[in-house]
Amino acid sequence: MFKLPKEVIDSIDDYKKALAEFLELKINPARFKGIRVPWGIYNQRGGKLFMVRIRVVSGQLDAGQLNALARASRLYGNGILHITTRQDIQIHDVKIEDTIKIIEELKDYNLSPRGGGGNTVRNIVVCPLAGLCEDEVFDTRPYVTALSEYLLKSPDSYTLPRKLKIAFSGCGKDCALATITDIGFIAKNRDTAKGFKVYAGGGMGSGPRVGMLLEDFVTDDKVGYVAAAVKKVFSKYGERKDRHHARLRFLVEKIGPDKFKELYKQEIAALKDSEHIVLRDVDCKASARKGRHIARIRAPFGDLPAEDAAALAGLAGRIPDIVFRTSQRQNIYIVNIPPDDAEVVHDELKRIGRGLTYAQNAKDIVCCAGATTCNLGFCNSKGLAKELERILEDVNLCRAALTGISINVNGCPNSCGQHPIGAIGLHGLARKVGLKTAPFYRIFVGGIAQEARTALGRDLGIVPAKNTPLLIKDFLVRINPDLKEGVDVHQYILEKGVPIMEELIKRYAYIPDFEEDKSFYKDWGKDEPFTLEGLTQGECGAGVIDMIESDLDEARKNLALAKTEGFSTKHSKEAIHLSSRALVIVKGIEPRTAIGAIDSFKKEFIDKKIASIRFKDILDAYIKGTEDKEGLYRYAKEFYEEVKRVYDSMDSNFNFSVRGKGAEEPKGESEKALDLRGVACPLNYVKTKLYLETQDQGALVDVYLDDGEPMANVPKSLENDGQEIVDIRNEGAYFIVKVRKLR
């Protein structure tokens, strides 16, 4: 079974300290966001409460784990466990101060939200019936469990350009969606060797793509190398600044499949020369298949009340061998039920009101949280899903329709509800109708995830949210008679379903004026008029960039305060601290003190000539301060501007160019320069005069001067001494005065 790595357990103290600092107002919300989101802790809509996403490795829970999750939800959340399409468990409505309590209590059960959000390696998904399904080539759970442990230990698994998702399917039916994820493994046998076919660069979010074939076959002992190599390519070459095009699939698209494979092979070779990657041999306690039962328990829209979860966990007291599985369609299974105990399970499910109807079929609708809690949700997808469930209750669908059609609902164009691969997929959007805003859904049909057949649904148009349930009902009623046993439902939808849906969309596309029918301007499950209130930027990509920009923004604010408070030494020094701390994070350094941040910046950026050597005394300037408070302020301001310049020069892979000799200090024909930025009058003039006395007749010297008094006085004084001012160049934050020594 999965063992929570020591590295994850040890890092809990770091989150605990950061949370304490946040609660004490020592770090601001933007910087704390960059810390908490990689811990799977997201701000909910409205900004007051949080969601904690816990990884369920291999989608499997024992009774103790399920009970611990239920208890955490009751104590710190809303009393509901939400099962996601990636087999995670989410606890909603958590106070920020309680997030550490959830983390600390669940670690004792080998559960953690670490890597549950942000630019990290996310939970690795697997077929919900892995180890049980008769169609699988072999049980993939041991590889999922061991790879999860390996990746969770690695610091670079938490600093990627964007999230990285991995899936393992046991056969070509691809229940885990390996063909449409960042890295997908499908179990294969070749002769006597166990191994995998590998796909890469797929995904369902913005700009969805089907994965490309990366490896036709790799033996099972190479799984760690494959995952590590793809991760390294992504980390080195992936886009980091433009979050909308930062996923792995955009890198594949940008450089092309052939170049991606070339880079991947280079990384594989380098890893084999430098690292020994052997995954732990995991015993997943494969369930006995013959004679054992499986109970598929529907959790409508992924929601399982904590008391029901605790009751299910309690069954283990009578049936010790049972375990629980979460599925991509947001349900929970009880597996390994002995025949003699089937009635016990049936009676308990009946007692808690958890029947077996509709689980994993067309009426079991997948949907995301939507506008109820998500900052990105346009529409209340849960409200629509509930209405769809109600309106389809009396539709007598044939077996082929029930088993061959999936309905996936999303509140926005992102794909938490996996609408691109639904036989019928919907995502919410908003449109102006006259002067009012109304909720709509975009309709997709024909999506499927299956090796050699994986395809994205076809975008056929939009209809008002009000009409969407009737549209779906009419579509299913129209196609139901044709879906006889043996009909390929997917092919039928593409050939005959598409024109039917297009016809229905035209019928249901009309929306009356607000005064004619106000119901069209309300969302499902809402009584008030439709509004986009609460819609904000999502936090999925929160991480390094957020922390950099937060520190730079705080440094700017401290500079403003320093100036308004009579050149406050306190605020000038804090601006130096924050400017230093902003960029060291890209070097994997997270200093806990101001001295540590400044020293790290000096070593990583100034000593390595990425930032100007003019600031080589930055640590002394901070520690000693100066009696000249205005001079310290100017120094801090120029240092902030230099850090900003370095940040602006950073490429999308967090690389910086080393400043060349000319770029470091632009010099004259004699390559001599005197940097007097931050030096006040008349000392700057005195230093220039003394320096020129050491130079040969005719020597050219570039003198760096601040604007204001230095520029008003020094060049004029030098001319009065008989020196020649050859050129004056305005560099924005300072001036370069080229002086020729004549006397």
**Would you call the peptide bond into 682 cis, given omega within 30 degrees of 0 as the criterion?**
yes
Run of H or E residues at 68: helix 63-76
Q: Which ranges constitute the DSSP H helices of 183-315?
A: 223-237, 248-255, 257-274, 306-314
Share of the chain above pLDDT 70, in %: 95
The CA-atom distances, in angstroms, between 191 and each of 188, 195, 223, 266, 278 are 10, 10, 18, 28, 23
CA 555 to CA 548: how far, in whole Å? 11
| 662 has a pLDDT exceeding 60 | no
With beta carbons less than 8 A apart as the criterion, state whether 448 and 442 touch: no
Residue with tokens 């946040």: 22
With beta carbons less than 8 A apart as the criterion, state whether 568 and 629 touch: yes
Question: In the structure, how many helices (H) and strands (E) does the chain have?
Answer: 23, 23
The CA-atom distances, in angstroms, between 106 and each of 12, 84, 690 are 11, 18, 68
Residue with tokens 């109807």: 357
Task: Tell me if the pTM is above 0.95.
Answer: no
Taking phi over 0 as left and psi of -120 to 50 as alpha, with beta for the rest, 633 belongs to: alpha
| 660 has a pLDDT exceeding 60 | no
Closest CA to 630 of 586, 713, 571: 571
DSSP secondary-structure letter at 366? E
- Residue-wise pLDDT for 148-159, tens only, equals 999 999 988 998
State the average pLDDT over residues 45-71: 95
Q: Give the pLDDT score at 723.
A: 87
Q: Which ranges constitute the DSSP H helices of 521-669?
A: 544-564, 569-584, 594-601, 618-624, 629-649, 661-664
Planar angle of CA 123, 129, 134, nearest 5 degrees: 140
Give the pLDDT band of residue 415 (cuts 50, 70, 90): confident
CB atoms within 10 A of CB 262: 13
CA 186 to CA 166: how far, in whole Å? 11
Residue with tokens 């060291």: 584
Residue type, 166: I
End-to-end Cα distance, the chain? 83
> 102 — phi, psi (to 5°)?
-65, -45
Residues 6+ apart with CB under 8 A from 310: 66, 67, 70, 71
Tokens of 715: 């060049």
CA 297 to CA 358: how far, in whole Å? 9
The CA-atom distances, in angstroms, between 107 and each of 3, 12, 114, 376 are 10, 9, 10, 30
Mean pLDDT of the chain: 90
Planar angle of CA 737, 740, 743, nearest 5 degrees: 130
Q: Which ranges constitute the DSSP H helices of 618-735?
A: 618-624, 629-649, 661-664, 683-693, 709-720
Closest CA to 508 of 472, 546, 555, 548: 472
The CA-atom distances, in angstroms, between 233 and each of 118, 146, 225, 262, 592 are 18, 21, 12, 10, 30
Angle, in degrees to the nearest 10, between helices 6-23 and 29-36 = 160
Q: Give the pLDDT score at 95.
A: 97
523-544 core/surface letters (b: 16 or more CB in 10 A; e: else): bbbeeeebeeeebeebbbbbbb
Q: Give the pLDDT score at 550.
A: 84
- Residue-wise pLDDT for 328-366, tens only, equals 999 999 999 999 999 999 898 888 887 655 678 899 999
Pairing, β 407-410 against β 366-367? parallel
- Residue-wise pLDDT for 126-168, tens only, equals 999 999 999 999 999 999 999 999 999 998 899 898 999 999 9
Give the pLDDT band of residue 710 (cuts 50, 70, 90): confident
> 128 — phi, psi (to 5°)?
-65, -20
The 3-state DSSP composition of the chain as helix, strand, coil percent (nearest 5) reads 45, 20, 40
| 587 has a pLDDT exceeding 50 | yes
Q: Give the pLDDT score at 47.
A: 84
With beta carbons less than 8 A apart as the criterion, state whether 384 and 441 touch: yes
Residues 6+ apart with CB under 8 A from 419: 204, 408, 409, 410, 425, 426, 427, 444, 447, 457
DSSP secondary-structure letter at 567? S
CA 521 to CA 463: how far, in whole Å? 13
Planar angle of CA 542, 545, 548, nearest 5 degrees: 125
Quick one: how far is CA 105 from the chain centroid? 24
CA 353 to CA 308: how far, in whole Å? 9
Q: Give the pLDDT score at 590.
A: 76
Angle, in degrees to the nearest 10, between helices 6-23 and 99-107 = 160
For the ranges 103-117, 173-187, 346-360, the lowest mean pLDDT is seen at 346-360
With beta carbons less than 8 A apart as the criterion, state whether 499 and 482 touch: no
- Residue-wise pLDDT for 189-232, tens only, equals 999 999 999 999 999 987 899 999 999 999 999 999 999 999 99
State the average pLDDT over residues 590-617: 90
CA atoms within a 13 Å half-sphere pointing along the CA-CB vector of 222: 20
Residue type, 726: V
Q: Give the pLDDT score at 207.
A: 83
CA 615 to CA 624: how far, in whole Å? 14
Q: Give the pLDDT score at 664.
A: 42
Q: Give the pLDDT score at 667.
A: 39
SS3 (DSSP) at 50: strand
For the ranges 20-34, 356-370, 700-714, the lowest mean pLDDT is seen at 356-370
Residue type, 71: R
**Torsion sign across C-alpha atoms 140, 142, 145, 150:** negative
CA 160 to CA 153: how far, in whole Å? 14
With beta carbons less than 8 A apart as the criterion, state whether 357 and 298 touch: yes
CA 597 to CA 658: how far, in whole Å? 20
